């Protein structure tokens, strides 16, 4: 069920919320023709005339359609709690939903906010990349790559190595904030783990270097939300509250920890530790306000897995499919298939495949690796060991 919810959500974004060149738009209005929800709601008479008798009866039963409706004398269709999710894909409901969708497409659509924002695109690229990995779906991977290239082409300036915040109809404006950098760094790391194209890892490092230069507080640690160049702002704030979207500091903490796991570069580890120190008192007082920060802290305290797949993509495919179906949050994953990638991602050093026909997997912790294994039966015991936690 949850996989189908994710697919339907992502498919909606790709169908209705994507720029022709790949970037993701910002929002759609709730109203059309000046009426709240008009595009989305249905009257009972409208459905009765659109559907055949069996379809209408099933829509009435499953979606709770009535004469009086549930929103201003109209109906917002929703599945009742006790209704199985897969009933949507069974007749006659399947054909009814198809007719409803085709009919609704003829209505006047809500207005679209077609700005392409760096930060929100970072979040959506991460979602597409994660779906591509977990669902092993190349369509979502291609969408994530296309959006990443869009952002890099239009919102990153090679000259000053700076990121910009907003694109609309060819117009690029506003120097980026911490959120823009943090969310895009996260998305490029996610995109690397979904595609194993090292260009995304390199771009994540470029953005991290610039974020450190623009936003890091060298005195107290942590990242400011802005670069301090706007004279109209009377103060530079540092945010740690994770609300509808996570804070730039919480995401940056996870980015630094992941970069350290890939590179064994002490700077990333030390920066992460300083960031934790900077906000530890605040998070201790109100932990429920910083769940993304706590998620990164869990990553920092755990003995995370550094997993290297060695071999070409065809050979590693079956093992990768098994890995994608196993929930293992505190990990990084990389592919050793080109010697030149070793200089980009130090985790790959001396991990080249030793067999021309078989994939091998190195499972490492704290940058120390066990001998490679070649099948899931050998791999699973190595990654299923979890660090015990003590709750005080």
On the question of pLDDT at 198 being above 90, the answer is yes
On the question of pLDDT at 81 being above 90, the answer is no
The percent of residues above 70 in pLDDT, for the chain, comes to 97
Q: Give the H/E segment covering residue 36.
A: strand 35-36
- Region 360-374: mean pLDDT is 93
Cα 330 versus chain centre, distance? 16
Question: Residue 313 — pLDDT band, cuts 50, 70, 90?
Answer: confident
| C-alpha closest to that of 184 among 160, 154, 159 | 154
On the question of pLDDT at 392 being above 60, the answer is no
Residues in the chain: 392
Residues facing residue 167 across a β-bridge = 116, 172
Question: Residue 233 — pLDDT band, cuts 50, 70, 90?
Answer: confident
Please tell me the least confidently modeled range out of 58-72, 224-238, 268-282, 283-297. 224-238
On the question of pLDDT at 339 being above 80, the answer is no
pLDDT tens digits for range 96-127: 999 999 999 999 999 999 999 999 999 999 99
Strand-strand pairing, 360-365 and 31-32: unpaired
Q: Are 152 and 175 in contact (CB under 8 A)?
A: no
| C-alpha closest to that of 368 among 308, 311, 328 | 308
| C-alpha closest to that of 15 among 103, 101, 107, 136 | 101
Rounded to 10 degrees, the C-alpha dihedral 133/134/139/143 comes to -60
Q: How does the average pLDDT of the chain come out, rounded?
A: 93
* Distance separating alpha carbons of residues 222 and 178, to the nearest angstrom: 11
* Distance separating alpha carbons of residues 250 and 182, to the nearest angstrom: 9
| C-alpha closest to that of 193 among 9, 331, 294 | 331
Residues facing residue 162 across a β-bridge = 157
Question: Residue 391 — pLDDT band, cuts 50, 70, 90?
Answer: low
Which pLDDT value is given to residue 115? 97
Which pLDDT value is given to residue 340? 66
On the question of pLDDT at 55 being above 70, the answer is yes
On the question of pLDDT at 294 being above 80, the answer is yes
On the question of pLDDT at 354 being above 80, the answer is no
Please tell me the least confidently modeled range out of 193-202, 255-264, 335-344. 335-344
* Distance separating alpha carbons of residues 25 and 19, to the nearest angstrom: 7
Residues facing residue 173 across a β-bridge = 166
Which pLDDT value is given to residue 206? 97
- Region 287-304: mean pLDDT is 95
Q: Is the pLDDT higher at 232 or at 350?
A: 350
Enter the pTM of the model: 0.94
Which pLDDT value is given to residue 389? 62
């Amino acid at each position: 069920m949850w996989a189908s919810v994710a697919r339907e959500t992502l498919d909606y974004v790709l169908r209705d919320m994507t720029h022709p060149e790949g970037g993701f738009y910002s929002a759609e209005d709730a109203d059309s023709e000046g009426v709240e929800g008009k595009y989305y709601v249905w009257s009972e008479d409208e459905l009765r005339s659109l559907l055949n008798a069996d379809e209408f009866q099933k829509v009435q039963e499953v979606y709770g359609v009535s004469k009086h409706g549930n929103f201003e004398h109209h109906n917002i269709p929703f599945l009742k709690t006790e209704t199985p999710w897969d009933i949507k894909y069974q007749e006659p409901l399947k054909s009814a939903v198809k007719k409803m969708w085709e009919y609704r497409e003829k209505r006047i659509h809500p207005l679209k906010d077609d700005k392409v924002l760096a930060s929100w695109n970072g979040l959506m690229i991460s979602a597409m990349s994660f779906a591509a990995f977990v669902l092993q779906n190349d369509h979502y991977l291609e969408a994530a790559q296309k959006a990443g290239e869009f952002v890099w082409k239009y919102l990153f300036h090679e000259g000053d190595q700076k990121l910009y915040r907003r694109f609309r109809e060819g117009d690029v404006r506003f120097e980026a904030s911490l959120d823009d950098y943090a969310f895009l760094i996260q998305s490029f790391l996610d995109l690397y783990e979904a595609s194993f194209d090292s260009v995304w890892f390199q771009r994540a490092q470029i953005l991290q270097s610039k974020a450190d230069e623009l936003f890091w507080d060298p005195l107290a640690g942590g990242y400011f939300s802005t670069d301090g160049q706007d004279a109209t702002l009377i103060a530079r704030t540092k945010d740690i509250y994770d609300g509808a979207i996570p804070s730039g500091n919480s995401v940056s903490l996870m980015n630094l920890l992941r970069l350290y796991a890939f590179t064994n570069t002490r700077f990333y580890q030390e920066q992460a530790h300083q960031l934790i120190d900077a906000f530890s008192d605040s998070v201790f007082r109100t932990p429920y306000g910083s769940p993304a920060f706590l998620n990164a802290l869990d990553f920092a305290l755990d003995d995370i897995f550094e997993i290297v797949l060695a071999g070409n993509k065809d050979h590693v495919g079956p093992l990768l499919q098994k890995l994608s179906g196993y929930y293992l949050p505190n990990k990084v994953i990389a592919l050793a298939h080109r010697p030149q990638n070793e200089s980009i991602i130090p985790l790959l050093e001396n991990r080249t495949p030793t067999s021309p026909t078989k994939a091998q997997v190195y499972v490492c912790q704290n940058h120390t690796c066990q001998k490679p294994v070649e099948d899931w039966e050998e791999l699973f015991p190595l990654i299923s060991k979890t660090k015990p936690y003590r709750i005080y």
